[in-house]
Amino acid sequence: MAFFNPEKFTTESVEKLKTELSDKAIIAASGGVDSTVAAVLAAKAVKDSLLAIYVDTGYMRVGESEYVSSMLSELGVQHKVVDASEQFYAGLKGVIDPEEKRKIIGELFIRVFEKEAEEYGGKFLVQGTIAPDWIESGGGLRDTIKSHHNVGGLPEDMDMVLCEPIRELYKDEVRSLAEYLEVSVSQRQPFPGPGLAVRVMGEATPERTEVVRQACHIAEEEMELASKEGIMELPWQYFAVVLPVKTVGVQGDVRAYGNTIAVRAVHSFDAMTAKAAEIPYSVLKKISERITRELKSEVNRVVYDITDKPPGTIEWE
Ligand code: XMP
């Protein structure tokens, strides 16, 4: 395979986008590396006729919306933050099946964009789809492993022209491109399009989402701290999921019946395969103690996932 050259890719991509985006465009900016890189490329091509839409689905990480908004401002990308959380919570009410969740989220995303695009007068929809997204969504002869929200959820009647400037790239290539473009999120861990909805096993209610949001935050903080202190290497991706099983525990001398959190951390190169990270026991212990203390009324058990990909996937849904 030819060595990836970010400078050459940028020049060629921007030139192509100048022709392709012949009218106003909106960008699905999630704050992740993929969509931010796509946003910067498109902004370089057609600065003033581009609007980045950041949708707060209610399934975002702690502080995410503020972080993304200030990052886009720094990058000079024209943007708008849309709080659609109520709409997403309503859409996922009673939904348990992972594929159904992904499809519903994908569709809602596009509906929100369509509405915003209409207001803005956008004719093009730019997306940060990368190669593993469409390969794993059942490209060609492959089986559908998961419908990635930016592929599987696209409704057939979408009336914007889709533009995917980085769809041939793998994660490591996107990261080197991000570094070249001086995008500060280049080393940030990936975050799935459907967000925390796929980290709540079963129905992603606002309450259970809040539990996993806080658990993810604790897992992130502790692993980032430990890696800063040189205790461990920062994994490629690290987070928590909340399981649909309750277990018996004890709080003080009272019986408790609470949720189980699974912590996941993996090393990977391109997300196609991954190795469960060997996190130092002291770090895992601290994460477990913090989660069961700070989420005392909801969680009384924490487990660590040691499955590689394959046979597991990185996310649990
Ligand atoms: P899995 O769980 O399939 O995930 O091993 C591989 C990588 O992709 C992320 N992921 C997604 N990214 N839309 C995305 O843009 C999605 O629907 C989606 N689902 C999973 C996941 O976090 C991991 O980095």
Q: Which of 180, 207, 226 is the last residue of a domain?
A: 180
Average pLDDT over residues 38-55: 94
What's the pLDDT tens digit per position in 251-266?
Answer: 888 898 999 999 999 9
- 32 plus 166 within the same structural domain: yes
Residue 189 lies in a domain: no
How many Å apart are CA 282 and CA 175, to the nearest integer?
30
- 211 plus 170 within the same structural domain: no
Instruction: Specify the CATH number for the domain of residue 241.
Output: 3.30.300.10
To the question of whether residue 129 is assigned a binding role by annotation, the answer is no
Residue 316 lies in a domain: no
In percent, the amount of the chain with pLDDT more than 70 equals: 92
Stated pTM of the model: 0.85
Instruction: Specify the CATH number for the domain of residue 161.
Output: 3.40.50.620
Residue 299 lies in a domain: yes
> Is 237's C-beta closer than 6 angstroms to any atom of ligand 1?
yes
At residue 149 the predicted structure's pLDDT band, cuts being 50, 70 and 90, is low
- 207 plus 166 within the same structural domain: no
- 30 plus 141 within the same structural domain: yes
Contacting residues for 51 by C-beta, under 8 A, at least 6 apart: 24, 25, 26, 27, 78, 79, 80, 116, 120, 122
* Mutational test site, ligand 1, from 59, 146, 185, max ligand atoms within 8 Å of CB: 146
188: CA distance to ligand 1 center in Å? 14
Average pLDDT over residues 197-204: 98
- 68 plus 153 within the same structural domain: yes
Residue nearest atom 15 of ligand 1, based on CA coordinates: 193
Q: Residue 56: is its pLDDT beyond 50?
A: yes
192: CA distance to ligand 1 center in Å? 5
Structural domain count, the chain: 2
Contacting residues for 21 by C-beta, under 8 A, at least 6 apart: 42, 45, 46, 49, 50, 124, 126, 163
- 44 plus 163 within the same structural domain: yes
- 128 plus 166 within the same structural domain: yes
Mean pLDDT of the residues in the chain: 91
Residue 312 lies in a domain: no
Residue 241 lies in a domain: yes
Range of the domain at 137: 6-180
Q: Residue 169: is its pLDDT beyond 60?
A: yes
- 265 plus 144 within the same structural domain: no
Residue 163 lies in a domain: yes
pLDDT of residue 3: 86
pLDDT of residue 156: 56
- 98 plus 21 within the same structural domain: yes
Residue 315 lies in a domain: no
- 46 plus 110 within the same structural domain: yes
- 164 plus 254 within the same structural domain: no
- 173 plus 210 within the same structural domain: no
